[in-house]
Amino acid sequence: MSQAIHYHDQFEQIYNAHNSFFKRIISKYFSGQTHADVQQEFAIHLYSIFEKKYPRDAALFDSKAWLRTVVTHFCISYLRKQKAQKNAVWENTTTAFILKATDDQLDRERQIVELMQQALGCVDKHEALILKMKYMYQKPSKEIEQKLGIQYADVQINRIKAKIRKKLDRTDLEWL
């Protein structure tokens, strides 16, 4: 654990030392709120590279040429992803049809959101996280068990659902 903290401190020092350099390069590709979002995403990307490469080749992180390449490639890749998403949206709206929600559908969605908030209010944060991972993020039970360090995620989920039904005093919650 102490080595992970050491790596985190090392990364923070390197990132802070080159932060204005990264901002300058990112600003060539993005501006406004997108710039801030890209910079945050880049920090995460750089940290993942740091974890892989720093133990073997720490000198890379002192090389501005290498760092420029990393940030430039990240920006180009980010632009490509944005373009692909825009094209997908354009294709979906031009080749298919646009759905319009009816008042009944909007009311049903509001009811579901309200029920979900009530349901999550019946459980503690850890239980809410388990439910969110399973149903909102659609993670498999094995992954939930690994990430949260629990056993028998499906059993725990069923117990949490029973707890919610009991606290809400409702048996008509087919989605639960």
pLDDT tens digits along 5-54:
566 788 888 889 999 999 999 999 988 888 889 999 999 988 888 888 88
Q: Which of 95, 128, 148 is the last residue of a domain?
A: 95
pLDDT digits (tens, 9 = 90+) for 65-112: 999 999 999 999 999 888 877 666 555 555 445 555 566 677 777 776
For the chain, give percent helix, strand, coil, nearest 5.
80, 0, 20
Helices (H), ranges, the chain: 2-27, 32-53, 64-95, 103-121, 125-131, 141-148, 153-168
Output 28-33 pairs: Cβ under 8 A, ≥24 positions apart: 28/75, 29/75, 29/76, 29/78, 29/79, 30/75, 30/78
The range of the structural domain enclosing residue 6 comes to 2-95
User: Is 176 contained in some domain?
Assistant: no
d(C-alpha 163, C-alpha 131), whole Å:
12
Q: Which of 95, 113, 139 is the last residue of a domain?
A: 95
Q: Are residues 91 and 12 in the same domain?
A: yes
User: Is 135 contained in some domain?
Assistant: yes
Q: Which of 49, 79, 95 is the last residue of a domain?
A: 95
Q: Are residues 90 and 119 in the same domain?
A: no
d(C-alpha 173, C-alpha 176), whole Å:
5
Residue 30: which residues within 8 A CB-CB, separation 6 or more? Answer: 38, 75, 78
d(C-alpha 45, C-alpha 42), whole Å:
5
Predicted TM-score (pTM) of the model is 0.47
